[in-house]
Structure 1
Amino acid sequence: MTSHERTADGLPEDATVHPDASLPVHDLDQRLAGALERMGHVSRTMLLRQAYAEGVSPLQHQLLLRVHAMAGRARVSDLAVELDVSQATVSEALGTLRRKELVTKAPDPVDRRNTIYSVTSAGEALHTRLSSWDGPLAESLAVVGDDDKATALRVVLGLVADLHDDGVVAVARTCLTCRYFDDAGGSTPAPYRCTLLAVDFGDAQLRVDCAEHEARASAGGGA
């Protein structure tokens, strides 16, 4: 058996922890960041498999999901920001989706200098199939307790909000980045309030991609 160095707690060294002990990052923070990176890899792998099984590229897959979610508001510039790629890359991928008759384009009724994209009936059918890309992950989460899932959701969305405030994430339509989100305090099961809808809610109801989201005017902290 290979001998490994032990840490202060008697467990083996973790490869996710940076060897430079002078870095001002806690060991647990580094391991959690490593775990999130690993989950990101798992998600990308599942998305890749689903996309290729349906004959589209991963970018086309993501674009179809986003065009559908944006419901008649999908512009090339917005999609490029959403996916953190160039407008030229988005235009090329959308052109391919149009040739496959999965999306259609039309003049923007608000500003006819722009073009908006929508999903066709064939695109809707494909969207339904593509939406199950995270099935294995959802099955695994089904056995996790609701309280644990709610806490994890709050922590992850808090990280997303912080990264958004720091300019690392361009778009984040979460409750924690929304001008209507109020966490000034409330009842224990529902400490938050959506001031737009006048609804109190808790961690389990936090939205990841809210259709009513409006970015807050100034940066603030996450959860």
Structure 2
Amino acid sequence: MSEGVFTERASGRVTHSLLRLGTAMRSQAWEWAESVGLTPTQGEILMLLMQRKAPLRLGEIARETALTAATTSDAVSTLEAKGLIEKRRALDDGRALAVRLTARGRTAAKRAQQWPEFLNSAVGKLADDEQAVFYRTLLKMIRHLEVQGDMPAHRMCMTCCHLVTSKNPKKTPHRCTAFGQDIGDINLRLDCERHELADLPTQKKIWKIFAQQT
């Protein structure tokens, strides 16, 4: 056997594994979407509107989903034609349009949330400590991609002024002052409705502490 078989860098193996997961997710997304007469993009927009619980402008949807303005406009127009969303004048600017779910749209959005269940089932096979480590790792990767400009910023706990970060969360949990609750690593949110962006020095302090934890 060639000596080079096992010499691939660990980062390369991780990347390849993520690409394979991406392939499975894309396949499942299309299979689900076709079964309900939507596209994955349309389903993603519905889920975003349901998560935000408030009307969003087209520009906000494009930014949050990393879609082009043209793709966003086409998807929104199709969803409007299906009666799943409706356009209204933005409350803060009567010249701008905002998009919100209709009653049918909320039902469709709830169904759209079910398609990743195959992945949720696989994650559920991991032990609790494995899930916690995996989630911490994903948060770090997502943050790195955000900083690089390769992914839209999320309303995550790790950039929020309400988070009091623990240097040793296994012994002393983090603290969310917005909800008044102690939280462990696995409870850190990637998208929170009470998120308020911390100033840059505070963000750097939080991430420095978070990166040093094991």
The TM-score normalised by the length of structure 2 is: 0.85
1:103 aligns with 2:100: no
Counterpart code for 1:5: S
Determine the C-alpha separation between the residues in 1 that align with 2:198 and 2:148.
14
Determine the C-alpha separation between the residues in 2 that align with 1:51 and 1:93.
13
Q: Is the 8 A contact 2:156 2:192 kept in 1?
A: yes
Residue 54 (structure 1) aligns with: 36
Q: 1:153 aligns with which of 135, 141, 155?
A: 135
Q: Is the 8 A contact 1:158 1:176 kept in 2?
A: no
Residue 68 (structure 1) aligns with: 50
Residue 24 (structure 1) aligns with: none
Q: Is the 8 A contact 1:189 1:201 kept in 2?
A: no
1:174 aligns with 2:156: yes
1:123 aligns with 2:105: yes
Query: Structure 1, unaligned stretches of length 5 or more?
Result: 18-26
Determine the C-alpha separation between the residues in 2 that align with 1:187 and 1:138.
25
Shift of 1:185: 2.7
Give % identity.
26
1:77 aligns with 2:59: yes
Shift of 1:163: 1.9
For the residue of structure 2 that corresponds to 1:112, the secondary structure is strand
Determine the C-alpha separation between the residues in 2 that align with 1:186 and 1:113.
50
Q: 2:125 aligns with which of 137, 143, 147?
A: 143
Is 97-106 or 189-198 further displaced after alignment? 189-198
Structure with higher helix content = 2
Residue 196 (structure 1) aligns with: 178
Number of aligned residue pairs = 205
Shift of 1:155: 0.9
Shift of 1:184: 4.4
The TM-score normalised by the length of structure 1 is: 0.82
Q: 1:33 aligns with which of 2, 9, 15?
A: 15
Counterpart code for 2:189: R
Deviation string 1:61-111 (CA, Å, 9 cap, x unpaired) is 111111221212311111110111222321221111010001111111222
Determine the C-alpha separation between the residues in 2 that align with 1:128 and 1:170.
23
Question: CA 1:42–1:178 in structure 2 vs 1: closer, same or farther (change >3 Å)?
Answer: farther
What's the RMSD between the two structures over aligned residues?
2.1
Shift of 1:132: 0.8
Counterpart code for 2:78: T
Q: 2:2 aligns with which of 2, 5, 11?
A: 5
